[in-house]
Each structure stands twice: as structure tokens, then as C-alpha cells.
Chain A
């Protein structure tokens, strides 16, 4: 492989890591509270509000129904508003984050919902308020699932970021499509796939270790 291609590979890797990390972080910051809101407002939740729950659920479903490639284009005005441009790596972070947030919200919801209701009850019985329940029970008890779910989200984002090439975001997926697929440069294709496998495996390994570290369940 030529020096140029190697540099291209490195740059693409960096672009992928940047897109994934930034949008992953944003999806965590917004998706976790959304997931909490879903669980808290659900029937029997600690802040039961059926209407809010239904509306939230509907919005999340709507965003999750739109194919990412369409979301990517449809969100161009929003992206321009936030980043100032609608093309490039940073511009891709907006639609990636907007797609990943409802995705992570649902994953977080599942983990949070599985927290033993007896624990919530125990902390209510000792005089804890909702915030205490969130801070001392829901999040710490769901943490292994929240971390594992975040790993899944990040790996999914790596896949989705390949489509971001459509708006000139670069990244490994884009490299593979342009050089490997469109120009039949099999070596590039293979190199990209190997790098992606290593990247995904590394993220999964880190995620698994993090789950082990926070999991004290029996």
C-alpha cells in the first residue's frame, strides 16, 4: 500500500473516531435522561405521567423509523444552523447524534426498567425523593446495562458513520466505498475492513471490561 493510501487510511480512521466519539457522547448526554424520563413517566413509575410518556415514546419512535440516510439529508437545515455548514466531518456529527440519541434512550430504558422495583421501594421507604431514587438506585443499579448498551450504540455509530460519506464527512466507510468499491482497489477495501474489525473489537473489549468493573450484581 502506498504512503498516500496509508495517510488516507489514518485520516479516515481519525474522522471515524471523531464522528463516533462526538455523536456517542451527545447521545449519552441526551439519551440517558430521555431513557430515564421514559421509565419514570411510565405506568407505576416514580413520576407517572401517561401522556408525557406516550408523547415521548412517539417522538422517539418517529426518529427511529426514519432511515439514517434520509435523516442525514433531511436534517441538513438543522445541521447548518448548528455547525454553520452542511458538509464535512463536523456536519455529520449532528445527524449521527440525532439518530443515536433515541436509539440509546430505548436501550437505557430497557436497562433502567429492569431495576428491581423492591430497591426503588426500599429507598422510598427510607424517605428518599425522586432525585435520590434516580441517583442512588436507578442509575447505579442499571449501570452494567447502561454501559453495555452504550458500547452497542458506539459500535452501531461506526456503521452509521459510513453513510455520512454522502455529505462529505469522510471516515473509514467512505474510504472503503470510494476506493475499494467504486475503484475496485481490493487492497484498500481489505485494509479498511481490517481496521474496522480492530476498532470494533477494541471498543467491545473496553465496554466489556467497563461492565465487569461496575457489575456487583449477584
Chain B
């Protein structure tokens, strides 16, 4: 199994940093959260993905009490925060770092003052908090930018400051609210790598919300798919990638998983023809051997036309588009099932591909 996977038993000796039980929140007649239950395990990176309006933002804002649920309980480090007043929430929020899509840096403060602000709120003396800010700027690779104002920084640098600021008060949990959605792909990769690095080095639990499967795939251990305020699917990222169960997940995955090339998809017919085209999804160790193993059953006439093996975390995830003679389809389906693959018959083409 995935080495990053924490124990999955719900009764485990509280490895959960966050526990949500049947959390509900509506705005007028629309339910933003419609009975969400989930745990975030210590040290994991949990990705919450959904389209806009799925309830992600409401969910993340409930975790530090910026939003109050109508029903259900939210425990942070075993403490129910749903009934806490604003004054009691304030010390708790200091132990939850948060980064934002638009960085939310204070324009009137220098980089080091921004990073040191959570410590100022905690009442640290100036010299001490600036020393800590310098350390954190080192961690995020912004040494030398301490006296700059945010307007002088690029988007990626701003988010690095945001991360340093979120880490300042040594939080038990880091919330990331679409932290890379305003960044270009290259900067996104470097920010995600930084978050991954911080997670490993400090053992920091990270909960991130995003609408991009690419982000989940890059750093999350586990993913929760949210749709219309409900969890439609959850599990280790590689499993979700190899066997998505819901339509929402499949649609969110469409951009990051291999798709049948359009010119082939266009020539498919549902009526039986000489050649059938199938998609086989296989995750874990079985993915590596799948082609070799299935090939044994088909000494001739099995073509890989698209796809291959991808690695998510340390797990191979295979998605193979194969063409084979239509008369061999039932043999293929049986063999594939034995090998642990999920097969979808996409259609037929008259000529072999």
C-alpha cells in the first residue's frame, strides 16, 4: 500500500487532526454542505476536490470557524469547535495556518512583517518574531526579500510568503484554499513541491481544496470528491485515478488521465465490427505486469493504441486503450478481470487500428 497512507481505521487512537460528523450548512435554500463526514489524519495531505459551488470553500472555512455549520460537529485535535464563541476560536485559529488563492498579503507591511504577523498576534517581542520570520523565509526560499513590499514580488513569491506566514505559529494543520489556482503551471509545480517538502520535513498535516485534479495528483495522499455538498467518493489518490466510481470524479479526471485520441473516438461505432476498442484501468502493482500478462492470452492481435502507466505517489496506475478482434472480446474481459483490471468497451471499428 501507499507508504504515505496513515492507518485507515476510524477507531485508531486518534490520529485524526480533524473530524467532521454530518456537517450541514445552507445559504438560503441551497445546501453548501449536505451532511459531510470526514477525518484528516495526522501527517497526511488530504485533497478535497470539486467543481465550483461544490461546497469546498464552505467546508474549509468551517474548519477554522470562519463559517459556522448549521448542524453536525467539527473536532480539531479532539476539541469540538462548533459551539465555541469568537473569543475561544481565536487561540485555536493560531494553530491552523491558512493560505489563499489570492495570497492575501498585507500590502502595507513588508515581507518579514507579513510573516511575523501571526507571532505579533501571539504577543511575541519584535526581535524574536523577526528572527523567526527570517528562518521561515529561508525555508520557503525567499532569503533577502525580508524588507520588500508584496507589490514587488511575483505571484509565486507572494504565495511563498503566504506559506511562511501560515507556518509562523507552528500550526498543527495547514489549510490551502485554491493556493495555486492563480499561478502558472511552472510556479504551481514549485509551490506544490514546497508544500510536499514541508509536509515531509515537519510532518505537517495539510488539507487542500482545489478544482484541479493535477494538484491532487501532484501532492495529495488521499482525495475526497465533493459534489453538491456531499462526498461522492474518497480514497487514496492512485485508487481514485485507477477506478473512479462517480461521474463527477470521472469528469474531474478527464483532463489528467489519457483519453482516447479524438480521431479514433470519432470513428467508433456501437454496432459490432471487426475490431473492438477497450479501455483497461489497472492500479497498483498489477499495472506494471498487465500488458505482459494479458499478452499471454493473446499471442496475436492485441494492440496498445494509447495510454500507458503513470505513477501517482509511489503507485503505478495504468490506463490502456487496446484494440483487439471483436471475437476475442469475451476472452479478454475474463482475463482482464482475473488480472484486476476494470474494462470499459468503448466501441468498434471496421479496420484494425
Partner of A125, one of B64, B102, B122: B64
Q: A125-B64, A128-B121, A216-B149 are in contact. Are A137 and B91 (CB under 8 A)?
A: no
Partner of A122, one of B87, B91, B98: B98
Answer yes or no: A132 CB below 8 A from chain B CBs.
Answer: yes
Answer yes or no: B259 CB below 8 A from chain A CBs.
Answer: no
Answer yes or no: B169 CB below 8 A from chain A CBs.
Answer: yes
How close is A18's CB to chain B, nearest CB, in angstroms? 32
Answer yes or no: A51 CB below 8 A from chain B CBs.
Answer: no
Determine the distance from Cα of A71 to Cα of B107 in the docked complex, in whole angstroms: 40
Interface size class of B (residues with CB under 8 A): 20 to 34
Q: A127-B94, A218-B150 are in contact. Are A122 and B100 (CB under 8 A)?
A: yes
| CB proximity to A under 8 Å, residues B180-220 | none
Answer yes or no: A193 CB below 8 A from chain B CBs.
Answer: no
Answer yes or no: B104 CB below 8 A from chain A CBs.
Answer: yes
- For A142, the closest partner residue in chain B by CB is B108
Q: A216-B149, A218-B150, A218-B151 are in contact. Are A127 and B118 (CB under 8 A)?
A: yes
Answer yes or no: B66 CB below 8 A from chain A CBs.
Answer: yes
Which residues of chain B come closer than 8 Å to A128, judged between CB atoms?
90, 121
Q: A214 to B108, Cβ gap below 8 A?
A: yes
Answer yes or no: A129 CB below 8 A from chain B CBs.
Answer: yes
Binds B, one of A36-44, A113-121, A170-178: A113-121
How close is B65's CB to chain A, nearest CB, in angstroms? 9
Q: C-beta contact mask, B58-96 vs A, less than 8 Å → 1, else 0? A: 000000101000000000000000000011011111101
Answer yes or no: A9 CB below 8 A from chain B CBs.
Answer: no
Answer yes or no: B17 CB below 8 A from chain A CBs.
Answer: no
Which residues of chain B come closer than 8 Å to A216, judged between CB atoms?
107-108, 149-151
Q: A126 to B117, Cβ gap below 8 A?
A: yes
Answer yes or no: A140 CB below 8 A from chain B CBs.
Answer: yes
Q: B121 to A127, Cβ gap below 8 A?
A: yes
Most buried by B among A116, A118, A214: A118
- For B60, the closest partner residue in chain A by CB is A125
Lowest 9 CB-CB distances: which A-B pairs, in order? A127-B94, A140-B108, A122-B104, A218-B151, A127-B93, A216-B149, A125-B98, A126-B118, A118-B104
Q: A118-B102, A125-B175 are in contact. List 18 more A-B contacts (CB 8 A).
A: A121-B100, A122-B100, A122-B104, A123-B106, A125-B66, A125-B96, A126-B118, A126-B121, A126-B166, A127-B93, A129-B90, A140-B109, A141-B107, A143-B108, A216-B107, A217-B151, A218-B107, A218-B151
